[in-house]
Structure formats: structure tokens, C-alpha cells
Amino acid sequence: MSNTLVKTNFSFPGQIDVYHGKVRDVYNINNDLLVMVVSDRISAFDVVLPKGIPYKGQVLNQIADKFLDDTANIVPNWKIASPDPNVMIGHMCEPFKVEMVIRGYLTGHAWREYSSGKRTLCGVPMPEGMKENQKFPEPIVTPTTKAAEGHDEDISRDEIMNSGLVYRPEYKMIEKYTRQLFQRGTEIAAKMGLILVDTKYEFGKKDGRIYLIDEIHTPDSSRYFYVDGYEERLAKNEPQKQLSKEFVRQWLIENGFQGKEGQTVPEMSEEFVDSVSDRYIELYENITGNIFQKSDVTNVGARIENAVNEFFKKNKRTK
């Protein structure tokens, strides 16, 4: 098993504080820039699993890097540079307090709501007579609140605007961006023989300007189906072959863990961990069309620290 990046504790020039998330460690530089280090931690059911997944952080960071570049002509994004395979440096923005979820197909949370009898999701009507994994007549936007702890909650566009959670003109703009980004992602996926099923985007503001922030179109934030065999599986009511981290959730469920009180995370054998790493690399290659180049992980912490310090030295961005 390769060395994995499961914990960071850097001290970068101009650093004010650091936020350790489930997967990402975000370093605040002078309340102006963010250094986002994407670790090899993996979470499921809102629980960080006890072992890291080799190269997972690199996979997520480099997919996000590619798609931020591929969508920069739709909406400005927070990225300035990616000086290391696991690192992105960009603008510090004030995040909007909603996540913009967009769904092209009836699956996941939307299907669970639908199969329980509900025909609206976040105030958006869903047609009668649909089956699991069927394509919606057009993509639906189903926002959620951004919970500091626990689960995000569904919320309608009217509730968002009427409550002032996001001001009306700004909400309409990020909803427009959400649809445009999803369309671009759908077109890129189709060229790779994939279907972008659903995803989520986050937006923020800096100096009065709206930016796309965080990751985009990664297997941790998105669900992909394979085009090949989609119609046949749908007709037979069979599960779709998909590219996402759903296979990790399924393994946990099969081993008696869904994040509920009293449950214990099953033992993650070296064989299982390496199989998850292989799946993430497969995801990368299928989504991007590029061969994955494994980074040198002999001393990944020193590698990252040197790359970030060299970036600041060259760019003189820390004041």
C-alpha cells in the first residue's frame, strides 16, 4: 500500500487558520487566498473511514482542476493554480449558504422520495409514471441548505429567495449558472461514453463578483452512468453501471454499516483499500480520458509544502 495523506498540519506564509473537513484541509492565507489540500481520506454516511485511499486526493483534485478549466468561460471560478497534484490555490470567497444540486435522472435521494409517494422535490414537480434511473424531461434543480454539522436539508428556490438566504437576483444567477454548467458537463461526459446523472455546485462572492467554488464533476460530488447498456438496464429495471463512490457505500451496507448509532465501521483490509484506489483511478481515466500518472508519495507532506511555498515565492501572493 502506498503512503496516504490522511492528516495535514502545514504552516504556510501568511496563514491565518485552517479548516479540516471530511476530505479537504483548507488553509486561509491573509483572508484573501485559500490553499485547499485534498487528502486521501474517504467519507461515507457522514463518517470519515479509518483508512486513507492511495491517490484518491490526487484523483479528485485533478478531475476538479480539469473541469474548472473546461467551464471557466461559463462562470468565473475560484481557482488560481494547482501547484501540486493534491493542491489547489484560489480566491477566498464568501460562500452562499446553499448547495445547488441538479438532477438529470430520477435516482438516489430523488428516487427514494419518489418511491415513497412524493411528487415534488424542493418545490419542483416530478412527473407521474417514472421509474428509477429514468431521465427527467429536463434537469431539475433541487437545492439544499449547507449544514455546519449533520445532514443538509432540502429547500425550495422560493424559500431561499423569500427568506433572504440568497438574494433573489443572485439566486437566479447561480441557478442559471447551475444549468449551464450541467449542460457543459453533460456534453463532456457524452464524449467519454458517460451520462452525467446528477451533481452539485457551490458558489461564493468576492468583491461583489460571483464565483464557482470547491470541486466540480468529481465522483465524490457527482454520479455518472455508462451510456452503453443504459437503455437495456432501464427497460429490465436493472441497476445501472455507474461511476461514483456508491460502491463504497454498498460495501459498507453489506457489512452492516450505515453510519447509525451503535454501528461499527467494518475492517478495511489492505486488499479492499487497494481495490478502492484502483476504482478511483479507473474513475479518473474514464471521466477525463487521460492516463493517470501516479505522483511520488515517498514523502507527500514535504512535496506539498515545497510546492505551495514555491508558488507563493514566485507569485508573491502572501503580502
What is the rounded average pLDDT for all residues in the chain?
94
Domain extents for the chain? 95-243
Q: How far does Cα 20 stand from its chain's mean position? A: 16
Mean pLDDT (whole number) for 160-173? 95
- pLDDT confidence of residue 259: 87
Helix axes 270-288, 246-254, angle to 10 degrees: 150
pLDDT tens track for 252-299: 989 999 888 899 999 999 999 999 999 999 989 999 999 999 999 999
pLDDT tens track for 39-88: 999 998 889 999 999 999 999 999 999 999 999 999 999 999 999 999 99
Mean pLDDT (whole number) for 232-250? 90
The percentage of the chain sitting over the pLDDT mark of 70, rounded to a whole number, equals 97
CATH 3.30.470.20 fits 95-243, yes or no: yes
Q: Is the pLDDT of residue 240 over 90?
A: yes
- pLDDT confidence of residue 1: 46
- pLDDT confidence of residue 298: 93
pLDDT tens track for 24-41: 999 999 999 999 999 999
- pLDDT confidence of residue 36: 98
- Between the CA atoms of 176, 38, 205 and 307, what dihedral angle is there, to the nearest 10 degrees? -120
- pLDDT confidence of residue 150: 56
pLDDT tens track for 107-158: 989 999 999 999 999 999 999 999 999 999 999 999 999 765 556 789 999 9
> In the numeric block, which cell numbers belong to residue 138?
429536463
Q: 77, 197 in Cβ contact below 8 A?
A: no
- pLDDT confidence of residue 249: 86
What DSSP line would sit under 39-80, residue for residue? -S--EETTEE-SS--TTHHHHHHHHHHHHHHHTTTTS-BSEE
- pLDDT confidence of residue 112: 92
pLDDT tens track for 94-109: 999 999 999 999 998 9
The single-letter code of the amino acid at 112 is R
Give how far Cα 278 sits from Cα of 4, 47, 56, 59, 282, Å: 14, 22, 9, 11, 6
